[in-house]
Structure 1
Amino acid sequence: RIARSIADRRIRLVETTTTQPSPFARDLLFGYVGAFMYEGDSPLAERRAAALSVDPALLSELLGKVELRELLDPDVIAQFEREAQRLDPGRRVRGREGVADLLRLLGPLDADEIALRLQADDDEDAAATPARASALAHDLVDARRAIAVTIAGHPRFAAIEDAGRLRDALGAALPVGIPTAFLEPVTDPLADLVARHARTHGPFTVAAVAERLGLGAAVARHALQRLDAVGRVTSGYFLPEASGSTDDLEWCDSEVLRRLRMRSLAAIRGSVEPVPPEAFARFLPVWQHVTRPLEGVDGVLQVVEQLAGVPIPASAWESLILPSRVRDYTPALLDELTASGEVLWSGHGTLPGRDGWIALHPADAASVTLAAPDDDATPGELERAVLEALAGGGAYFAAQLRQVTGAENEQSVIEALWALAWTGRITNDTFAPVRALLAGGSQAHRVARRAPRARMYRGTPIARPAAPPRPAAIGGRWSLLPEPETDPTVRATAAASLLLDRYGVVTRGSVQNEGLPGGFAQAYRVLAGFEEAGHCRRGYVIEKLGAAQFAASSTIDRLREYAALADPPPLEAVALAATDPANPYGAALAWPGLDGITHRPGRKAGAVVVLVDGALALYLERGGKTALAFTDDEAVLAAASRALVATARGGRLDTLTVEQVNGVFVFGTPAGRALREAGFVEATRGLTLRRQLEGARA
């Protein structure tokens, strides 16, 4: 029937814009408001964007008075105020006509205020002088286009069109000779002046407008309330410094508030964009306490919990990994945790020399972080005898196991114990055997030997009685490792939780680098379940890494803090083992390429990387013989070299000798000059850094 009536022109459709949504639209909008209310687990930027996109009138009706001071961007407010007041260099006016426009748009101004908004004739970037502004204003007065008045005790220039309003609202004394057309009374002159102040300013207080117009606070408040009644201004708390008290109630023009909301929303949506990969590389060392070290035995335990189950070269644990994360680290702290049973270590295969891959585990979570023993390695006869002796429970010294197994000598028992340890079957209650093993041969990260004791006089040292040779790696009690959890669901859930704690943002590359059973597909299913339960969020957090990324909302907020660098950048450098989980390159992030260089970096045992502001700057192979420099910027290379020297000396690394950089001899290269300035010295084969031994300094 309605359609026929429209066709017969008995009903006429009129398009209109209402001040409030229709009943049907209100139901839909309330649905959006309800969705916003229950999005409390979103990151801060997303929550602010959702709140700004909701109609504030509906939100106030549902939740009460809504304070926008936590949503509006203070920088946006400040920039809008500069533009509205013509204080921004790009919004300044020119010449006499520009001054006339200022007086008409902004109201009465004095010479100094006009000068700040007037562009100098001889310099586009500078403001005019007060003398020049005063001369132009007096030209307008002489032309009967402006008048000189006194407002709130200050002499100002005003547009002649405002003469009647200034007289009727403020009682200003007007000069003679003003045409009658400009003296006609208006309906509400005070509201006109206050409304102009509102639309040319950001949020303001009653005291501010009262002081500007020379009014009493009560008079200004009543004028604002009249404007509020007709929807021209709104009240609330919009600035971050607002205390929330009644006296600090702020007012803002409705159209100005809408523009501030839209600009703030645009700024927030810009911050919601994925962060660059370098931001994640700056974030990860902080997340893993490399640049924000912990302290004491509790700090060591916290590091072990975060890196639980990650195989790292044994020589790197106490030279690079733990000292960089625990400010006052000493070997006694780790031994205290292992001796008390709070921490276990397990082997994951050998490396050239006497080094190997070792993982640390919190004892209460070892069942889900321990890997299954290597079944490909068949135990020998003596190794089976050791396993049978340990299977009854308890822990044994190596000498006791020799008696139990009937081995010919203790050295053969030691070799059997290490063969079982590297296949992930047994462990020791201290880390001392690992240290003793590393001291007897080469390691991936060469650790400096202990300095010899000082002699009592210049000459032959005091003779000591010869001691019988002792086999290496004696110390501590050996025992079987706990049985790993066999339920794949439990292990997958624990692994996904550890990944979130270890990396903050879990990506495909991080999972693949961990070598988890089932790969990223298995981890994705578990993390998707975490998302459904509200434990994390899935999204496009880091650029170029795909949309299948998972992180907690609070982690995303922290990561976004690293997305913007100061100008110039701070050149913060950090040196890490290439196998360190805090190094994202080769795992979450791809290695950067070098034109014409066939040598490729990798997460190899013994290699060291140096990051500067999150970008890979240097890569050194084991021992430093071959290096790769990913930049020619001398300032970046200098910062990277200083960090490398500090880490090598503070981490007790042995001699580093750099022979080649990017395939050419190190002498004369930008990286070579930076290394020399940082502390490397010329040697026969290249540039060498020798650790300053305590005994040598003594």
Structure 2
Amino acid sequence: MDGLHDLLLALGDLSEGEIHQRFEGEPPLQQLFEERRAFPLNLAGEKRWVAAEDAARVRDALGVPPPPGLPRELLEPVKDPLGDLVSRWARTHGPFRAEDLAARWGVGTAVVRSALERLAGQERVLEGEFLPGGRGREWVDAEVLKALKRRSLAKLRKQVEPVDPAALARFVADWQGLARPRRGLDALLGAVEQLQGAPLVASALEREMLSARIQPLRPGDLDILFSAGEVIWRGVEPVGSRDGRIALYLTDHYRLLAPQPKKAEGELCEKLRQELRRRGASFFADLQTATGAFPADLLKALWDLVWAGEVTNDTLAPLRSYLRGAPKEDRRIPHLGRAFRSRRIGPPGSEGRWSLLPAPSGTPTERATALAQTLLARHGVVTRETVHAEEITGGFAAVYPVLKAMEDAGRARRGYFVAGLGGAQFAIPGAEERLRSFREPAAEPLTLVVAATDPANPYGATLPWPRTNGEARAQRAAGAQVVLHDGALVGWLGRGEQNLQTFLPGEEPERSQRARALAHALAALVDEGKRKALLIARVDGEDVEGSPLAPALKAAGFTSGSKGYLKTAPLGRGAIAPEPAEALEEEDAGG
């Protein structure tokens, strides 16, 4: 009997049918009535039961007189009788319309709406459209809405069973456009937008990363975007003596996404800052005249400012020259797809106009939001490991609050999407379904050769490198490449070392199938003109001749020689890779 009384106190007026739905057994209604703990009344033409403690509220709010015999203290007026009844209804029910509640109690809609508006002024209820189906404006208790969101999010998280790492690799290749390359300048701009802000190895930018997404990528295509003012580039850090990491940005996104620059030290660097601030974009010769510096000193100071993130150029020509090193006797500069012999006086790496980069701006919240959105757009699924791999200032903690807020707002989903990774995983809406579509191996497996540093290679970043006993250790190093077969890592080729590290399963026939796929993918680098030649001297730390991979390499067209297995292009046909990569290709072929 106490349980039935508590039910009426908690929920308010209930019909006998509603009581039977919530009460196990035969409800002792008559006994409660005889003890003056509850009484029946007629509301909107229906018999309902209420607790005696609500007698004053239903009398003053709904105009229903209580039965005789109730204690006087239960009949004392309360401050807001209708507000109390409406508030209790909101606390114990989901979203509802004012019209429906008014019809239940047989009162005017305006009266109920007035009570709801008073509660809304106290931030106890919220008005909006909460349920599907377009029923119009609805009301819900603030705490009920929070609980509903928590339950909905928990349900959504449970819907996603984690995929294995190979499925993530298949998804990333498709998400970033490697599985289905596009063509044209608009597609190139889209690829830049997806990659913006990521530290990219300059030597692999055009010949490996962008050419994997855009086919064909013509020399000068990227320069068109720079000339149009759509894209700017920024140095991140030098890598060795003739390479470095840079970041590309859409011009309008730069201020919110770019980190604060470092400050290059030195008197000449300060002179250049002042001169560029005064003159704006300037050619090398003009800067030399203004500063009186020796060309070599001026060039070094300019590149110190570049790697500090302070200065950029309106073209990639100086970066390409920086990668090539000393000029050839006939120095030609590619521009918009056409090469010409430069007449300007200046050392390699000084071409084009130099200018100060815009100062990053925006509130911390605006910048963190822009960064989180960019990460989701780039990766589809963002994990703690993904963020750490991009060396973002502040790490995962810098974007986690924004990702969580995006989840609460329905603009991102959180769940355990990929097995073996941390529990804090967020996906852009639609990405989790696309990820699940790659759960099963493909009927026609795709084999890709990707720059080890490419964001489309999840190994060594989001995913750990597979363990191996070979002497070489895979790294996301400049110039290194990985071979992915249906998302599984099958090979790692270091730059200039001619040493191939394999990651093949121990069981047959999978081992032989992946070995053949690896060998043919390496041969295709030459067959498709991406390299002039490819020499493999060692496989997993031993001479290639004695390697289990040797038969597959021979079948793919490699020939045995004194230095190892060599694959060369047919006579009369050289590499068709973009011109900036030419010197590096020669280095790869020659060791």
TM-score by length of 2: 0.65
Output the amino acid matched with 1:354: R
The residue identity in structure 1 corresponding to 2:187 is G
Segments of 5+ residues of structure 2 without an aligned counterpart are 4-17, 24-88, 97-131, 135-155, 333-340, 506-510, 577-591
Of Structure 1 and Structure 2, the greater strand share is in 2
Count of matched residue positions in the alignment of Structure 1 and Structure 2: 423
Distance 2:362 2:562 in 1: 56
Q: How far is 1:480 from its partner?
A: 0.7
Q: Secondary structure at the match of 1:418?
A: helix
In the alignment, which of 620, 623, 627 is matched to residue 493 of structure 2? Answer: 620
Please say if residues 194 and 378 of structure 2, whose CA atoms lie closer than 8 Å, have aligned partners that are also in contact.
yes
| 1:642 paired to 2:530 | no
* 1:55-109 per-position Cα deviation (integer Å, ceiling 9, x unaligned): xxxxxxx989xxxxxxxxxxxxxxxxxxxxxxxxxxxxxxxxxxxxxxxxxxxxx
- Report the Cα distance in structure 1 between the residues aligned to 2:398 and 2:251, rounded to whole angstroms: 25
Give the letter for the 2:192 counterpart: V
The aligned residue for residue 565 of structure 1 is 441
Partner of residue 388 from structure 1, selected from 262, 274, 295? 274
How much has 1:468 moved relative to structure 2?
A: 11
- CA separation of 1:388 and 1:503: change in aligned 2, threshold 3 A: same
Q: CA deviation at 1:407?
A: 2.1
Q: Which residue in the other structure is 1:219 paired with?
A: none
CA deviation after TM superposition for structure 1 residue 429, in Å: 0.5
Determine whether 1:437 maps to 2:322. yes
Q: Choose from 668, 675, 679 the match for 2:546.
A: 668
> What does residue range 370-449 of structure 1 map to in structure 2 within 5 Å?
370-375=258-263, 377-378=264-265, 380-392=266-278, 394-408=280-294, 410-440=295-325
- Which residue of 1 is the match for residue 219 of structure 2? 331
Provide the residue aligned with 1:607 in structure 2: 480
What letter is aligned with 1:360? L
- Whole-angstrom CA distance in 1 between matches of 2:496 and 2:201: 14
Paired AA for residue 615 in structure 1: A
The 1:683–1:548 alpha-carbon spacing in structure 2 relative to 1, beyond 3 Å, is same
Note the C-alpha offset of 1:433. Answer: 1.3
Please identify, of 578-587 and 388-397, the stretch whose mean Cα deviation from structure 2 is larger: 388-397
Q: What secondary structure is seen at the aligned counterpart in 1 of 2:405?
A: helix
Contact 2:236 2:247 in 1 (8 A): yes
Which residue number corresponds to residue 658 of structure 1?
536
Aligned to 1:528: 404
Distance 1:31 1:666 in 2: 72
SS of the residue corresponding to residue 545 of structure 2 reads coil
Counterpart AA for 2:299? I
Alignment partners' CA distance in 2, 1:644 and 1:624? 15
From 492, 495, 498, the equivalent of 2:371 is 495
Distance in 2, Cα, partners of 1:385 & 1:487: 30
CA shift for structure 1 position 587: 1.2
Q: CA deviation at 1:280?
A: 0.6
3-state SS of the aligned residue for 1:622? coil
Contact 1:348–1:356 (8 Å) recurs in 2: yes
2:459 alignment counterpart: 585
Q: Is the 8 A contact 1:353 1:441 kept in 2?
A: no
Q: Contact between 2:529 and 2:569, CA under 8 Å: does it hold in 1?
A: no
Q: Are 1:310 and 2:198 counterparts? A: yes
CA distance in 1, matches of 2:229, 2:280: 13
Describe the SS at the equivalent of 2:549: helix
CA 1:393/1:638 → structure 2, altered by over 3 Å: closer, same or farther? farther
Q: Residue 470 of structure 2 corresponds to which residue in structure 1?
A: 597
Distance of 2:533 and 2:555 partners within structure 1: 17
Deviation digits for residues 574-602 of structure 1 (CA, Å, limit 9, x no counterpart): 110110000011111111111x3353211
In the alignment, the residues of structure 1 paired with residue 486 and residue 455 of structure 2 have an alpha-carbon distance, to the nearest angstrom, of: 17
Structure 1 contact 658–666 (Cα < 8 Å) conserved: yes
Amino acid at match of 2:298: V
Query: Does 1:295 find its partner at 2:169?
Result: no
Alignment of 1:188-199 (within 5 A): none
Question: How much does 1:292 deviate?
Answer: 1.1
Q: Which runs of 5+ in 1 are unaligned?
A: 4-19, 35-61, 65-267, 443-448, 451-464
Contact 2:157 2:416 in 1 (8 A): no
Q: Distance in 2 between matches of 1:572 and 1:634?
A: 16
- CA 1:558–1:534 in 2, change beyond 3 Å: closer, same or farther? same
Does the residue aligned with 2:484 lie in a helix, a strand or coil?
A: strand
Equivalences for 1:433-582 in 2 at 5 Å?
A: 433-440=318-325, 471-485=347-361, 487-565=363-441, 570-582=444-456
For the structure 1 residues 697 and 278, does the alpha-carbon distance in structure 2 shift closer, same or farther, using more than 3 Å as the test? closer
Q: Matches of 2:373 and 2:537 in 1, distance apart?
A: 43
Deviations 1:19-52 (A, max 9, x none): x996449x9xx97999xxxxxxxxxxxxxxxxxx
Q: Is the 8 A contact 1:368 1:484 kept in 2?
A: yes
Contact 2:471 2:540 in 1 (8 A): no
Q: CA deviation at 1:441?
A: 6.0
Work out the CA distance in 1 between the residues paired with 2:133 and 2:248: 51
Pick from 244, 255, 269 the counterpart of residue 356 of structure 1.
244
Quick one: distance in 1 between partners of 2:515 and 2:242?
Answer: 33
Structure 2 CA distance for partners of 1:583 and 1:668, relative to 1, 3 Å: same
8 Å Cα contact 1:271/1:560 also seen in 2: no
Cα deviation code 1:428-454 (max 9, x no counterpart): 101111112222269xxxxxx99xxxx
Q: In structure 2, what is the equivalent of residue 92 of structure 1?
A: none
TM-score, L = length of structure 1: 0.56
User: How big is each residue's C-alpha offset from its partner over 1:363-398, in whole Å with a ceiling of 9 and x where there is no partner?
Assistant: 0011122232234x42x3322222211012521111
Distance 1:468 1:2 in 2: 96
Against the structure 1 CA distance between its residues 651 and 412, is the aligned structure 2 distance closer, same or farther, given a 3 Å change threshold?
farther
Aligned partner letter, 2:213: R
CA contact (8 A) 2:414 2:424 kept: yes
The share of aligned pairs that are identical, in percent, is 41
Change over 3 Å in CA distance of 1:670–1:301 after alignment to 2: same
Cα-to-partner distance string for 1:647-696 (whole Å, 9 max, x where unaligned): 46657445432222111111132323323332333232212334568665
User: What is the deviation of 1:470?
Assistant: 5.8
What letter matches 2:494 in structure 1? E
Question: Any idea what SS the aligned residue of 2:504 has?
Answer: coil
Pair 269,538 (structure 1): closer, same or farther in 2 beyond 3 Å: closer
Q: Partner of 2:163 in structure 1?
A: 275
**2:210 corresponds to which of 319, 322, 337:** 322
Is the contact made by 2:498 and 2:537 (CA closer than 8 Å) also made in structure 1? yes
Contact 1:414 1:473 in 2 (8 A): yes
Contact 1:659/1:686 (8 A) holds in 2: yes
Counterpart secondary structure, 1:290: coil
SS at match of 2:562: coil
Deviation at 1:315, TM superposition (A): 0.8
The structure with the largest alpha-carbon Rg is: 1
Question: What SS class does the counterpart of residue 179 from structure 2 fall into?
Answer: coil
CA RMSD of aligned residues (A): 3.4
Asked if the contact 1:319–1:651 (Cα under 8 Å) also holds between the matched residues in 2, the reply is no
Distance in structure 1 (CA, Å) of the matches to 2:574 and 2:416: 53
Aligned equivalents of 1:437, 1:630: Cα separation in 2: 35
Contact 2:470 2:501 in 1 (8 A): no
What SS does the corresponding residue of 1:349 show, helix, strand or coil?
A: strand
Question: What is the SS of the residue equivalent to 1:676?
Answer: helix
Aligned 1:74-223 pairs, distance under 5 A? none
Q: Rate the CA distance shift 1:419–1:509 in 2: closer, same or farther, 3 A.
A: same
CA distance in 1, matches of 2:157, 2:375: 28
